[in-house]
Structure 1
Amino acid sequence: MPFSADTNAARPPIETLDLTDAWSHTPLVPSETVAGRSLTIVIAIMTFLAALTAGFAIVLAGASREWRGEVGLEMTIQVLPRPGRDIEADAAKAAQIAASFPGVVEARPFTRKESEDLLSPWLGAGLDLSQLPVPRLIVVRRDPEKQIDEIGLRAALDAALPNAVLDNHGAWLRRLGAMAQVVVGAATGIFFLVLIAMALAVSFATRGAMAGNREIIEALHYVGAADSFIARQFQFHFLRLGLRGAATGGGAAIALFLLLGFLSRHWATSAGGEQAEALFGSFSLGWSGIVAIAMISLAAALLAGLMSRAIVFRALRGFFGVAN
């Protein structure tokens, strides 16, 4: 039988009664139920997905920094074939001009064999570059501690070799940066979607638990239980479930990344392993990544508890009017 709010006003808060000790040993919400175990599994899965998304974002962001660092340390000079010019001599002269500039560590022309190997995936093996108008490449490595006068180098090449083109890989750097931002943005969006889904699951579970214990809640309210006391019972219950599920999901995500890191090191000598390492790095989260996943797991557990508390307060206002 429901009770009105004014009957509660005439009674002292439950914290002043002996019932508080009894309820501290007998939880309002049973700790081991089918619904509770199901919610723990849901929280574990959601935390695993959120941690997995965040972990891959961290790995890809780190790989992107490595890509940009490697690309940014190199420039390329292309020597284009022109009628009446010796492309081998032009390539050697372009390398000599580049090596004379401060800040250049090395300027090395690609050999004929290296150029053939570079083009063989597209044009096939056994190429004869002398029969094809293929540019010769000079790789210019920068000193990371010094600046190169790119304008001066470009002007010197233009003056000596009109068929030489300097490429500082700026377009590639912008593309890599844009790609990293897109990946991190998509991962952030997925991360928040997972958190919203978990919050909805906790919301439905809290409402179901309140509906199943409505008579007990009304009786507590009648004898003077403060709404904060009732909300704490639900909050601690769902916080325990959240901690259990989040620890399971976060631990599984960390274990998966450790396994991927071990496998990537084991397969690093294979062609597929080299490609995967070039794309994703070593799948190593580092301590910062592990701490980030631990913080995500803790945040998921706290979200479960705080979400439950807020829903209980809102429901109590609907049951009994203004919450106390």
Structure 2
Amino acid sequence: MNVVKNLISSASLEDAPLIALGREVLQIEAAAIDNLQRNLDAQFAQAVRTILACQGRVVVSGIGKSGHIGRKLAATLASTGTPAFFVHPAEASHGDLGMVTAQDVFIAISNSGESAELMAIMPLIKRMGATLIAMTGKPQSSMAQLATVHLNAAVEKEACPLNLAPTASTTAALALGDALAVALLSARGFREEDFARSHPGGALGRRLLTHVRDVMRTGEAMPVVSQSASLADALLEMSRKRMGMTAVVDAEQRVIGIFTDGDLRRVLATPVTTASEFHQLTIAAVMSANPRTIGPDLLADSAAQLMEQHHITQLLVVNPQGVLVGALNIHDLFHAKVV
């Protein structure tokens, strides 16, 4: 690593050598992942099948930097349809081993494959009946030989100039763990809706779990007038409900039209000879007929898409018979953090 040596020897803090060092590190780590994908073999497929057949949970463990990778892998598995959790190997030797059952799959991560903390518990876990998967950089290591399935995460060298600090090896382990999680996700037929159920507090969860009925305004909060109402009555209803529009319904409460702020501007732009003529206008004469509507059981995200597609900011919510059951505008979707 000539660039690294030159940087160390000159102790330069100029842009060029620092950027060159960063690029060299990224090249080394990219090469490690590229080599990893070329060497992926049947053991990977066996690991996927083993986890799919698991009747318990996936328990992930590792020490040091491998422990950090293990925590991430357990979290990724759990959020993508494979129940999993992380156990610290040192704590496992002092009671946490009770978390592991014979129905579980135990994934042990160690670049050397000789981590003392893991080697102290793996024979016990194997005797217990749990299936062992080892992810190491040494196929001939003790952990690899003890495991039922070995995932080879070997790298030629670390990105560290001393070839000591875990860098390329942890990147490879992280990527291999992601590959395992995604293969399991695909094999399970995991969908966006499933992901959302694991992330109800996130933006995706809100987008995929919030329905129109959850955000629409109903009852007294819903602006509505009959088709026989006057324009003045409609304006009063709009002012009271503060939605910038009102629904227009027939005697059976079926939606026949909508009157919005935009419709009002168009009415005002039309010459009217007398004030009395203006007050005599009925809402049926100035409303927009056949407005855009949506069903209450559709996702609120669908309402947002419909508004964007037709350049509108309000929607009326109707049941299958066309009866008005709710109303919403873009601010309701903003408030619910759907958009």
- TM-score tier by shorter-chain length is under 0.3
Structure with the largest fraction of helix: 1
Question: Normalising by the residue count of structure 2, what TM-score does the alignment of the two structures yield?
Answer: 0.24
Structure with the largest fraction of strand: 2
Question: Normalising by the residue count of structure 1, what TM-score does the alignment of the two structures yield?
Answer: 0.25
